[in-house]
Amino acid sequence: MDPSLTAPLDESRATLVRRARAIHRSLGATYPDAHCELDHLDAWQLLVATVLSAQSTDRRVNTVTPALFARYPDPAALAGAERADVEELIKPTGFFRAKTDSLLRLSAAVVTDFDAQVPGKLEQLVKLPGVGRKTANVVLSDAFGVPALTTDTHFIRLSRRFGWTQATDPAVIEVEVGELFQRRDWNTLNHRVIWHGRRRCHARRPACGACPVAKYCPSFGEGPTDPKVAEKLVREPRG
Ligand code: SF4
């Protein structure tokens, strides 16, 4: 390996880009099947699932969405739903009263303002109640195939650990990380980074000694470096 790729302090812009892309490739080899872990069939289902995923796990969301979508298959149906019924259906995801409120307002706005179709542009999506930039980018990226970086908690933590950015503002991180990669690679980057964050590069005790990108990572040593100890920290979650 090129030793310059391990030297993030005062590294040149060109080296930073090469190191970032080496991490992307290595994560791709480790997680060849990385994909959105929220089950969905279309943009509407993904939008709803993403709202439900706040303060929850994808796995838990996936346990409630089949019944929710069976009962309320489109924005018009959900906009006319009984609040208590929706609350009961989504209860396992937590914060169910606030989330029900969001879903009812969101579905009504999609019906009223966008002819019951989820819009495919960032500036339209963020006008919907309860839809922030991150949720909008998830929908753009995974439902519409538009290049967009989904700066969730994992993406932010790992981007900073990799030395891709020092920023804490997700909008700034989006720009700074986006500049290191070709736009066509943004959507695969989202999934690979998020999968790595869920499986190895945990917020607490990252599995540094069992990490495929350790040789490119300036934060190596934030977690146990002993391979036997680190291996025990590797998780295979769905959500
Ligand atoms: Fe995360 Fe450690 Fe791997 Fe760096 S070496 S990416 S901090 S697990």
Tens of pLDDT, residue by residue over 119-128, are 999 999 999 9
Q: Which atom of ligand 1 is nearest to the CA of 230?
A: 8
Residue 176 to residue 165: CA distance in whole angstroms = 6
Distance of CA 105 from the midpoint of ligand 1 (Å): 40
Residue 89, SS3 per DSSP: helix
Binned at pLDDT 50, 70 and 90, residue 9 comes out as: low
Comparing 8 with 198, the larger pLDDT belongs to: 198
Average pLDDT score over residue span 193-212: 98
With 60 as the cut, is the pLDDT of residue 239 above it?
Answer: no
With 80 as the cut, is the pLDDT of residue 93 above it?
Answer: yes
Residue 2 to residue 106: CA distance in whole angstroms = 50
Distance of CA 162 from the midpoint of ligand 1 (Å): 8
Q: How far is CA 172 from CA 131, 133, 167, 234, in A?
A: 18, 12, 6, 30
With 50 as the cut, is the pLDDT of residue 34 above it?
Answer: yes
Q: Which atom of ligand 1 is nearest to the CA of 212?
A: 3
Count of positions (residues) in the chain: 239
Q: pTM for the full model? A: 0.92
Q: How far is CA 125 from CA 38, 61, 99, 146, 187, in A?
A: 19, 21, 17, 13, 18
Comparing 10 with 91, the larger pLDDT belongs to: 91
Q: Write out residues with Cβ below 6 Å of ligand 1.
A: 161, 200-201, 206-208, 211, 213-214, 217, 219-220, 222-223
Which pLDDT does position 92 carry in this prediction?
98
Place of tokens 């943009």: 43
With 60 as the cut, is the pLDDT of residue 155 above it?
Answer: yes
Distance of CA 167 from the midpoint of ligand 1 (Å): 18
Q: Which atom of ligand 1 is nearest to the CA of 214?
A: 5
Distance of CA 217 from the midpoint of ligand 1 (Å): 6
